Amino acid sequence: MRVLLQAQVGPGTIERLRALSPELDLVDVSGDDTFDVDALADPEIEVIIGRRIPTDLSRTPNLRWLQTGSAGVDHLAGDPPWNKGIVVTNGRGVFAVPIGEYVSGAILRINQPVGRWAADQAARHWPVDDEPVASVVRGRTAVLVGYGSIGREVARQLAALGLRIVAVKPRPEVRADASYRVPGTGDPDGSVPARIVGVEALAEVAREADYLILTLPLTARSRHLIDARLLAALPTTAWLINVSRGPLVDEDALLEALRAGRLAGAVLDVFEREPLPPDHPLWGTPNVTITPHVSGATARFRDDLVVENVRRYLAGEPLLNVVDPERGY
């Protein structure tokens, strides 16, 4: 079986893959910056570990499976591989731990005046008793919009801090999650949230949110899900945290809500246009934290998923994280 490895992997992963079977023929182009998948002409390739498949499949007639590194597969929506008979598996679960830590850290920073403390330290100033001190997050409510592998790990971490969790997902009756999961993390049986509701109840539960956290995939249905109407449902003390995809949020409506004081602030790791243009008004908006799409920036767990799925493929076992064509993720 021939596998094309286009994605960068960590030290030792290629050896782990080759050790799975003497029948595995691994073609490693991960270090070739000039490689163009559309130029691929190899009738023996069965698997691509990379971002996408070739546009012309006539030169790769045995291609059966694409393993992507990303959790989202919206970049494939224009020409879906699953419409051509190619199984697609994604990176659900491999970014859950770092994104969970990003969200937990963001919420703690919101409630601790770290900027003031840093300024006091630089000035060698010991504050008087009536100056700002940290507030406590325990007992507050986090509404998670999207409850896949990332949302479940965010929920686990925030629940450990004492937050009440409300989850919003398209199929609230499906509590279990069989996606790839780092051992000991996540919420595989859906027991962490105080409530799990459908997307149709989003505006209702948004009224309870101290933090509205977006961890859902981008699809035609979810684009601009967070619009002016939804933002108006949030308490004026609420924060929006987006670690999923920028187009989930109507940025014009968000800017208006922030400027009008109808929202306490936002932590944004993703944007409708990336890189965020230097003249974009979000840069200068008070109480907005901007990071450059880095909340899940680690390959630490991705390689484990790749090795496990290749092992399953060789053994004829069901693959992890198969994309559902009807749902688009």
CA atoms of 314 and 83, how far apart (whole Å): 23
Task: Examine the residue annotation and report whether 245 is marked as an active-site residue of this protein.
Answer: yes
pLDDT tens track for 81-125: 999 999 999 999 999 999 999 999 999 999 999 988 999 999 999
Q: Which fold would CATH assign to domain 2-92+298-315?
A: Rossmann fold (3.40.50)
| Host H or E run for residue 40 | none
Sign, CA torsion 4/294/98/238: negative
CA atoms of 182 and 95, how far apart (whole Å): 10
pLDDT tens track for 127-172: 887 777 889 999 999 999 999 999 999 999 999 999 999 999 999 9
pTM more than 0.85: yes
pLDDT for position 51 = 95
Which one is catalytic: 140, 156, 181, 245?
245
CA atoms of 33 and 52, how far apart (whole Å): 15
Which one is catalytic: 262, 293, 311, 312?
293
Beta strands in the chain (DSSP E): 2-5, 25-28, 45-49, 65-67, 87-89, 141-145, 164-168, 195-197, 211-214, 239-242, 265-268, 288-290
Task: Examine the residue annotation and report whether 273 is marked as an active-site residue of this protein.
Answer: no
pLDDT for position 297 = 86
> What is the number of helices (H) and of strands (E) in the chain?
8, 12
3-class SS at 328? coil
Can you list the residues of the chain whose pLDDT is less than 50?
A: none
- For the chain, residues classed under CATH 3.40.50.720 are 2-92+298-315, 96-290
Q: Which fold would CATH assign to domain 96-290?
A: Rossmann fold (3.40.50)
